[in-house]
Amino acid sequence: MKIGQDSILGLFFAVTGCVALWIAIQYPFGTAGRMGPGYFPVIISSLLVVTGICVVIRSISASGDAFPAINLKALFMVPAAVVVFGLAIEPLGFLPAVLLLLVLSAATSVKFRFDWKASAGALVFSGLCTVLFVKLIGLPIPILGTWLQ
């Protein structure tokens, strides 16, 4: 049997769902009419377990590709981009921090080219995130931080 990335992903879903289900069943479940704090987590984690099992079964029955080489650049750069986002959000503000997160994460791809299309897309996405999270949801995060004001 060849272990492919679908098999690994299915196992990850199933194990994560099992752990979440084990935690969730410790809360009162309630009923459909009067849901307890464990109702939604039990349902979602159960669905995650079922999804994981289905993905594993599908990956075993299908002839998939072998597990590809791990992109070490992405393995380290994406978590680093999240840390940079967390450190940059206060001094730079939400909009520049999201823009920085996008550029650093996208730079891990071998297909990434920093041209006007990528810049425009990142700016539009950062703007939409800013409108959604700061204006519509009302998160108390400055759009531009202290360094840029």
The whole-number average pLDDT for the span 128-147 is 89
SS3 91: helix
C-alpha Rg value of the chain to the nearest Å: 21
Residue 135 DSSP symbol: I
The contacts of residue 80 (CB under 8 Å, 6+ apart) are: 104
Confidence class for position 86, pLDDT limits 50, 70, 90:
very high
**Residue 98 pLDDT > 70:** yes
pTM score of the predicted model = 0.58
**What is residue 74's predicted lDDT score, i.e. its pLDDT?**
81
Backbone region of residue 93 per phi and psi (left: phi > 0; alpha: psi in -120 to 50; beta: other values): left
The whole-number average pLDDT for the span 2-19 is 85
- Report pLDDT digits (tens) over 23-79: 999 998 888 888 888 899 999 999 999 999 999 888 887 765 566 677 778 888 889
Task: Please tell me which residue, 69 or 14, carries the higher pLDDT value.
Answer: 14
From CA 102, how far away is CA 96, in angstroms rounded? 10
**Residue 104 pLDDT > 80:** yes
**Please, are residues 129 and 98 in contact by the beta-carbon 8 Å criterion?**
yes
- Cα three-residue angle 40-41-46, rounded to 5 degrees: 105
CA-closest candidate to residue 42, choices 70, 22, 57: 22
How many CB atoms are located within 10 Å of the residue 72 CB?
9
* Residue tagged 């969730």 (tokens): 24
From CA 97, how far away is CA 134, in angstroms rounded? 13
The whole-number average pLDDT for the span 86-109 is 91
**What is residue 2's predicted lDDT score, i.e. its pLDDT?**
57
**Residue 16 pLDDT > 90:** yes
